[in-house]
Amino acid sequence: MSLNQISKVYATALLELAQEANSLESTEEELSTLVDIFFSDESIRHYFLSPLVDPSEKERTAEKSVQGKASEIVANFITLVVRKNRFLYLKDILEDFRTGVDRLKNRSSLRIISKDSLGKEAVDRITKSISSKFGRDVRVTEHTDLNLIGGFKIYIDDFLIDASIRAKLAGIEEALLQKKIPVGAFE
């Protein structure tokens, strides 16, 4: 089974459980919080990924750490993921779970990538424009990419709007190459 399939299988199972319990948003929020905690602390992450730690000890630790801090669904899910040695896939499972919730809620995922933060006003304008264009609510996440020269890229689900300077320069280069300017024309 490929890595992508593993996360989708687990996310789909959790999605079905959360939908039956009518707790999609709360499950997503709890899972997101726990994934942030598990992966933000390097010692916790190394503990659960270490082949030297006994798997049953990892399972007991996971169970104790989430007991009382998360709903029964999320606590049992985290324990299962650790028991099945799938801890490494938790971030991917969370992303696939979010995608499933968005699909069920008829919501699109809007990811804005820019060199620097665009600011709340610009993000709100983009969100409003995309929401009205696509006719659905959007979940917005903003990321920075220092490799961008300027401009921004917008991903709406699987659709890309590339308004970066690099894309514009590539377009100009392609147009110039298509013109096939004769040698010596600028001498």
Q: Among 61, 85, 75, 82, which Cα is nearest to 14's?
A: 75
Last residue of a domain, one of 68, 103, 138: 103
On whether the CB atoms of residues 63 and 72 are closer than 8 A, the answer is no
Span 41-99, pLDDT tens digits: 889 889 988 889 898 998 899 888 888 888 889 889 999 999 999 998 999 999 899 88
Answering whether pTM is above 0.85, one says: no
Give the chain's domain count.
2
Mean pLDDT of the chain: 85
Residue 155 contacts residue 139 (beta carbons within 8 Å): no
Question: If we measure between CA atoms, which residue out of 31, 22, 53, 27 comes closest to residue 45?
Answer: 53
Question: Does 187 fall in a domain?
Answer: no
Verify that 10 and 99 share a domain, yes or no: yes
**Who's near 145: CB < 8 A, 6+ residues apart?**
113, 114, 115, 153
Helix or strand holding residue 43 (H, E): helix 42-49
pLDDT tens for each residue of 151-182: 888 888 778 888 888 888 888 888 777 776 66
Any domain includes 52:
yes
User: What is each CA distance from 129 to 54, 90, 122, 125, 166, in whole angstroms?
Assistant: 52, 33, 11, 6, 23
103, 123, 141 - which closes a domain: 103
Beta bridge partners of 143: 113
